[in-house]
Amino acid sequence: MSYFFSLRGWLEAEPEKFDKATQLIESLQRTYEQDSKMGFYLQGWSWNRNPINWTAYLFYGADVTESGLELFEDTLDKLINTHLNLSGYFHAQGEDGERNLVYHITDDELSTKVSDVLVKVT
């Protein structure tokens, strides 16, 4: 039986760099279109096409297995390696509340750490 993580969070991008980030995600979505599991997990990305004021946001939210978490980490690495000056925060909470990861991104620098429970699972 698979173990699931509730994965959610966001990236912040400057509006003039936002299109490059969304194009990368759309390219990955096309690449994995025929892979039902990976293509499905890549649909967790969403964004507003018209930024409000001076920051544009990319959001991710999905319940994923370990392979989905690895795909998310790979996608995050690809986004960071485009040098778009991204910042953001993501939290992956294991289904039993025992395995929790926090991804903190500041100016294209990623730190990942094991975290305490943020939301109690009942």
pLDDT digits (tens), the chain, 122 positions: 799 999 999 999 998 999 999 999 999 999 998 888 999 999 999 999 887 888 899 999 999 999 999 999 999 999 999 999 999 999 999 998 889 999 999 999 999 999 876 656 55
Residue whose pair of structure tokens reads 């997990």 in the numeric block? 41
Count of domains for the chain:
1
Distances from the Cα of 60 to the Cα of 1, 10, 47, 71, 122, angstroms: 24, 6, 9, 12, 24
- Report pLDDT for 117: 62
Q: Tell me if 119 is assigned to some domain.
A: no
Q: Which domain holds residue 99?
A: 5-114
Residue 103: strand, helix, or coil: strand
Q: Tell me if 64 is assigned to some domain.
A: yes
Q: Tell me if 46 is assigned to some domain.
A: yes
Q: Tell me if 121 is assigned to some domain.
A: no
Q: Tell me if 122 is assigned to some domain.
A: no
Rounded Cα distance between 53 and 39, Å, is 31
- Report pLDDT for 97: 84
Contact 10, 60 (CB under 8 A): yes
